[in-house]
Structure 1
Amino acid sequence: MKPRWWAGNRVRLLENGEEYFPAVFEAIRQAEHEVILETFIWFEDKVGHALHEALRSAAERGVQVDVLVDGFGSPDLTPEFVARLTAVGVRLRVFDPCVKLLGLRFSMLRRMHRKIVVIDGRRAFVGGINYSADHLADFGPQAKQDYAVEIEGPVVDEIRRFAHSSTHPPPQAQRRAPPPEPVGRADALFVRRDNLHHRNDIERYYRIAIRRAQRQVLIANAYFFPGYRLLHEMKRAARRGVDVRLILQGEPDVPLARTAARMLYDYLQLGGVKVFEYCERPLHGKVAVVDDQWATVGSSNLDPLSLSLNLEANVVLNDRGFARGLRERLERLIEESCHRVPVPVDGHIGWWSELRGFVVFHFLRRFPVWASRLPRHRPVTASATEGPDGR
């Protein structure tokens, strides 16, 4: 089904676990009929236990609770933790459960990377924040910087139908509720990436927005190694006078990600793109704003895993107030916690950088084709009480 724009939504930006977790847990506590939750990571730490308690409490008062976690991202949920949920009726399923060999997980490709919550078909949360304590500042220097959005309005019905099809065992029929009424002014588009019908949707909407930009493009993305076409649109926008700024990792949680991104700096900066590295703590956000009008928040990084392999979900918004608020937060991040990467001296780069750039861009040009040939299997979604083979 082709994504469609929904008018009449109310949206709120949530920054980091300090804003996100209280909002989600309170929404679950207020649920009357249904909670649907998808997440890549759910750890048994203080945040994971708080989510556990909120879901158990909802199920105990008769709310239908469906949860989908990724088998690679959430491999260590203990039998006791799971049993206390299922005992009160929570339907917990695992996307592509991983079998460990010698304590290691090897099934890294084509993961369920989405972070979605839907409450009673009336309120939804979409973003990049997992259920783990490293999304809170008191975790320390490795606490992540990230974003999500809370949504009310007509688009929630589409998000619910999509999440329901992912989390619900197929034989069950879903409860049909009337679509939410318009409650705000934001136009919203729910965009996902899968390996069947929506392989390029998220990247395509990024490219469209950058191509139409007239004044400013501001992107904050944790893992940055996008395809050639997206890089080319950024450079073209900068050359026609658009202020294109990137906020990337300066203190990475995955050092290889920063190494890969830095291979692209010369190409982008010589084309007029400004690159900033966030150095206060690991950046985990996946957000962008264009011309104080268009914005996106979601789970999709701009790297090969998110753009060509993983299952992702973003919300795209046309709302001046929301876009302006996101832009102001990102500019504050630049001012207080980032340093600008120097432009190559005299606008020239050395022979090694030129050679490296040549190799990188030919790799990027062909990556979508190569990605389609990487190991592929039919993912299994199994009950958490079943084994990886579905038994």
Structure 2
Amino acid sequence: MPHAPTRPAAAWRQRFQRHNSRWTAGNSLKLLENGEEFFPAVNQAIQSAQREVVLETFILFEDKVGAALQEALLDAAGRGVDVHVLVDGYGSYELSRGFIAKLIQAGVKFRVFDPGQKVMGKRINVLRRMHRKIVVVDGELAFIGGINYGADHLADFGPTAKQDYATAIRGPVVQRIREFVFRAIGESPREDNRNLGRDAQPAGDVETLFVTRDNHRHRNDIERHYQAALRTARERVIIANAYFFPGYRFIRALRRAALRGVDVRLILQGEPDMPIVKTAAKLLYDHLLRAGVKIYEYCDRPLHGKVALVDDQWATIGSSNLDPLSLSLNLEANIVVRDRAFNATLHENLDRLMKHSCTPVVPEPEGRWHGLRLVRSYCVFHVLRWFPTWAGWLPRHKPTIALARVQAEDGGTVDEETAARAAAT
């Protein structure tokens, strides 16, 4: 039966309620490209954990990547580490009972965000998903990005392997991230870990901002930070985003930046994992190109990244796409960075993509269909203007976070009692 959070958990959430507007100094960040860099770093961190691991992801597949992660989590739990896992009920619906049971029996607290029932074999809980990808280890190390746990993020997966990014973070901001993820799962840390990471020493000189999006208090925070950076851009803007179909204000900010002489470049999907993604983005091409925005289609394989940089200092990386789902419906998390070195590293990476793996989009010449393209662009532009309002009309419900359980042979359960709680976000 659903029940209210215990007083300690409620007190924990109230104590650490944060706004997405506070910069934290003294951090270090390392850019991780694709699963080849991300998965070994995460697994090694979990294998080295001494006291606590908290992991949340949209997708966890039961393949070689999922098996390696499961092994690392089992090993940590077996050493007495307090392990929490949260997956999305839509994105990770294919996980077998055996895969989950093995984790639970080892002591892992395995939760599912909004587990839904299939109707005629189809998932219907499509909207308002938990789309974040966060890991926090011992309150000292965090990972944030767009990479899910699946073999399709490795190059040996083949032509449909995804191009994506994440970052490893150390420093005081890790504690903010940790406080958030515990609040999100409706839980408080284990008693002996309550103050873990509280007195973290500076790990570098990078200023960071942990920004989230939810359907309650922080509905447009990630988009707002993007727009603020675009308004102040003076030299360059590079955005690499898998699913690009933002709202009116975002498109306007891009156009205005380009019109005042900023070098604005978009890296979008040329070989999309879902064809409709490219079709939707192309509806915006003419309107953006006419303002001077340069568009590059990444054609090596599907682009899944969600990164951006502005001028020589500002950058962001995380789970948020620039489409209606991420900007108006899903639960997302990004890290925003003010640091020249990180900006330069990301710029070098994206510049390499544009030079060697992208096809520049050339404006279509004026012709018999030019007027029709202008009308189409005008209509799309103003449809986007009202999308945030329309999003509020879409079906909504109160998502739950369910603590998974396994049926034992004697009819009892081998884990804690299932706890369905209203999602904190």
Range class of TM-score, shorter chain: over 0.9
Determine whether 1:323 maps to 2:343: yes
The answer to whether the 8 A contact 1:20-1:148 is kept is yes
Query: In 2 relative to 1, CA 5–333 (structure 1 residues): closer, same or farther, beyond 3 Å?
Result: same
Letter matched to residue 2 of structure 1: H
Q: Indicate the residue corresponding to 2:235 in structure 1.
A: 215
Letter in 1 for 2:320: S
Structure 1 residues 43 and 317, CA gap change in structure 2 (3 angstroms): same
2:194 equivalent among 154, 159, 175: 175
Deviation at 1:353, TM superposition (A): 1.3
How far does residue 169 in structure 1 lie from its aligned partner after superposition?
3.7
Q: In the aligned structure 1, how far is the partner of 2:393 from the partner of 2:67?
A: 39
Contact 2:182 2:189 in 1 (8 A): no
Residue 44 of structure 1: aligned partner: 62
Q: How far 1:362 sits from its partner (Å)?
A: 1.8
Are 2:19 and 1:2 aligned?
A: yes
The AA in structure 2 aligned to 1:181 is Q
Tell me, yes or no, if structure 1 residue 54 matches structure 2 residue 72.
Answer: yes
Map of 2:130 onto structure 1: 112
Name the aligned partner's letter for residue 367 of structure 1. F
**1:373 corresponding residue in structure 2:** 393
Match of 1:286 in 2: 306
Q: Secondary structure at the match of 2:386?
A: helix
* Other structure's SS at 1:74 match: coil
- Matched residue type, 1:254: M
Alignment of 1:345-356 (within 5 A): 345=365, 350-356=370-376
Find 1:26's aligned residue among 34, 44, 47: 44
TM-score normalized with structure 1 length: 0.97
8 A contact 2:270–2:299 mirrored in 1: yes
* Equivalences for residues 104-143 of structure 1 within 5 A: 104-143=122-161
Aligned length: 391
Which residue of the other structure, out of 85, 91, 100, is the alignment partner of 2:118? 100
Q: Distance in 2 between matches of 1:76 and 1:37?
A: 18
Instruction: Note the alpha carbon deviations across 1:365-391, whole angstroms, 9 max, x for none.
Output: 111111011101000100122899949
**In the alignment, which residue of structure 1 is the partner of 2:171?**
153
1:293-372 map, 5 Å: 293-345=313-365, 350-372=370-392
Q: CA deviation at 1:98?
A: 1.6
CA distance in 2, matches of 1:189, 1:229: 22
How far off its partner does 1:358 sit? 2.3
Q: Note closer, same or farther for the CA distance 1:45–1:230 as it changes in structure 2 (3 Å cut).
A: same
- Give the match's secondary structure for 1:43: coil
Alignment partner, residue 291 of structure 2:
271
What is the deviation of 1:292? 1.8
What amino acid maps onto 1:163 in structure 2? V
1:204 maps to 2:224: yes
CA shift in 2, pair 1:185/1:171, >3 Å: closer
Alpha-carbon distance change, 105 to 389 in structure 1, aligned in 2, over 3 angstroms = farther
Q: Does residue 260 of structure 2 align to residue 240 of structure 1?
A: yes
Cα 1:324/1:376, change in 2 over 3 Å = same
**Following the alignment from structure 1 to structure 2, what is the Cα–Cα distance between the partners of residues 154 and 97?**
33
Q: 1:162 aligns with which of 180, 201, 206?
A: 180
Change (3 A) 1:299 1:192: same
Q: Displacement of 1:170 after TM fit? A: 6.3
Q: Residue 345 of structure 1 aligns to a residue in which SS?
A: coil
Partners of 1:214 and 1:288 lie apart in 2 by 15
Check the 8 A contact 1:68/1:94 in 2, yes or no.
Answer: yes
Instruction: Give the distance between the partners of 2:251 and 2:369, measured in 1 at CA.
Output: 18
| Length-normalised TM-score, structure 2 | 0.89
Q: Is the 8 A contact 2:403 2:418 kept in 1?
A: no
Measured in 2, the distance between the counterparts of 1:348 and 1:317 equals 46
Conserved? CA contact 2:133–2:148, under 8 Å: yes
Q: Using the TM superposition, give the Cα deviation of residue 214 of structure 1 relative to its aligned residue in structure 2, in angstroms.
A: 0.8
Aligned residue type for 1:13? L
Q: Which deviates more from structure 2 when the two are superposed, residues 94-103 or residues 60-69?
A: 94-103
Shift in Å at residue 167 of structure 1?
2.8
- Aligned equivalents of 1:359, 1:346: Cα separation in 2: 19
Matched to 2:342, the amino acid is: F
C-alpha deviation, 1:179, in angstroms: 3.3
Letter in 2 for 1:59: A
Report the alpha carbon displacement of residue 116 of structure 1 after superposing the two structures with TM: 0.1
CA distance in 2 between partners of 1:166 and 1:50 (Å)? 25
Alpha-carbon distance in structure 2 between the residues aligned to 1:357 and 1:189: 35
Whether 1:82 aligns to 2:100 is: yes
In 2, distance between residues paired with 1:226 and 1:362?
12
- Where do 5+ consecutive residues of structure 1 fail to align? none
Secondary structure of 1:157's aligned partner: helix
Larger radius of gyration: 2
Instruction: Tell me how large the CA RMSD over aligned residues is.
Output: 1.8
Superposed CA deviations along residues 326-361 of structure 1, whole A, max 9, x for unmatched, are 001000001110000002326997122122122212
Residue type at the aligned position of 2:388: P
Distance 1:322 1:99 in 2: 43
The separation in 1 between residues aligned to 2:139 and 2:32, in whole angstroms, is 20
